Amino acid sequence: MTLASTSPETPLDRTDPEGEIAKAAAQYSNWGRWGADDVLGTLNFLTSDARAAAGRLIRTGRSFSLAQSFDMNGPQKGWRRRTNPVHTMLDTGTDAAAGNQGFPHGIGGADDVIAMPLQCSTQWDGLGHIFDHGRAWNGRDAAATVTSDGDRVTGIEHMAAHVAGRGVLLDVGRVLGDERGELPDGFAITEDHLRATIDAQGAGSGVGRGDIVLVRTGQLSRARREGWGDYAGGPAPGLSFTAAGWLHRTEIAAIATDTWGFEVRPNEFEHSFQPLHQVAIPHLGLLIGEMWDPDALAADCAADGVHEFFLTAAPLPITGAVGSPINPVAVK
């Protein structure tokens, strides 16, 4: 099945990123929707009642980690000082066997430390991660919100108790991609594509208020087979800028993809960088996940036809952080 990579209903002036971003920001803004002091953005849609209903989706207990590995073999290449994790042992079994740890009666142990950027593997983008013309989420002054002390207002620690609810996999790669279930790099996923995927997957794939949506493009599968290449920042399938309206109207709590940057790359405008981020995070207040690994879950969903599940994906409560590594777990 093949669809055009842009929606005819929402044409873009590809020469005017400033104008298109400003128009979408005004049309889809959630500023003030949950009050001037809000720190959760679209997570406000994920209520206690919605979370309780999501728990009732668990039928078999099958669980799937949706995280990539956190190790030196990751995709990062140093862009803006993003490196792969460095794992170092502080104490080892060798030390214990040598008796040089200083513990009594034969006890020994191992200990370790990890050094890494918070957004080097499977992660959430926090509300303080992206600004638009000096404005952070809810219209705040970016300079007063995120300083050298971190995000003093919307740090990701505020979200730690909230990211658990109904997850929905939209396997766009399997529905619209090639025989391997993969979309080509540069494929812009529009609202039409998302709707076609929901229709093809059938009952239980509908998306609505408070849902956590996982979009599989198949790019991670390709990177596993062919090597990382330019996975970290290069060409990729992803959400079209024209999908901003769908993200706003559906009132989802969060969305994640199996790609480095969530939105299509190269971006759809001349001389632009991540324009959908510029609308979705500071204006919609949308929680965005990147570099998730949906492949095992996707195979299970294709086998049993069930694309909804309970999902928990709490960020680490790192005070003042603008992103966080996570281990999302889907339970069916």
CATH of the domain at 284: 3.50.30.50
User: Would you state the pLDDT for residue 11?
Assistant: 81
User: Would you state the pLDDT for residue 10?
Assistant: 60
Residue 147 shares a structural domain with residue 270: yes
Tokens of 156: 């990701």
Total number of domains constituting the chain: 2
Q: Are 169 and 296 in contact (CB under 8 A)?
A: no
pLDDT digits (tens, 9 = 90+) for 205-235: 999 999 999 999 999 999 999 999 999 999 9
> What are the DSSP E strand ranges found in the chain?
63-65, 86-91, 111-115, 123-125, 146-147, 150-151, 164-170, 188-189, 212-215, 238-239, 254-257, 287-290, 308-312, 323-325, 329-331
Residue 233 shares a structural domain with residue 103: no
* Residues in the chain with pLDDT values less than 50: 1-8
User: Would you state the pLDDT for residue 4?
Assistant: 41
User: Would you state the pLDDT for residue 3?
Assistant: 43
Phi, psi at 242, each rounded to 5°: -70, -10
Residue 172 shares a structural domain with residue 283: yes
Residue 226 shares a structural domain with residue 177: yes
Helix and strand element counts for the chain (H, E): 10, 15
Q: Is residue 8 part of a domain?
A: no
Q: Is residue 12 part of a domain?
A: no
pLDDT digits (tens, 9 = 90+) for 187-202: 999 999 999 999 999 9
Residue 149 shares a structural domain with residue 257: yes
208 contacts: CB under 8 Å, gap ≥ 6: 250, 251, 252
Residue 165 shares a structural domain with residue 282: yes
Torsion of CA 51, 307, 67, 180, to 10 degrees: -170
Domain-terminating residue out of 67, 97, 115: 115
Residue type, 297: L
User: Would you state the pLDDT for residue 154?
Assistant: 98
Q: In the block, which residue shows the tokens 């087979």?
A: 225
Residue 156 shares a structural domain with residue 226: yes
Domain with 98 in it: 87-115
Considering just the CA atoms, what is the radius of gyration of the chain in Å?
A: 21
Residue 243 shares a structural domain with residue 259: yes
Q: Are 326 and 123 in contact (CB under 8 A)?
A: yes
Q: Which helix (H) or strand (E) holds 170?
A: strand 164-170
Say whether 311 sits in a helix, a strand or coil: strand
Q: What is the pTM of this model?
A: 0.95
Q: Is residue 4 part of a domain?
A: no
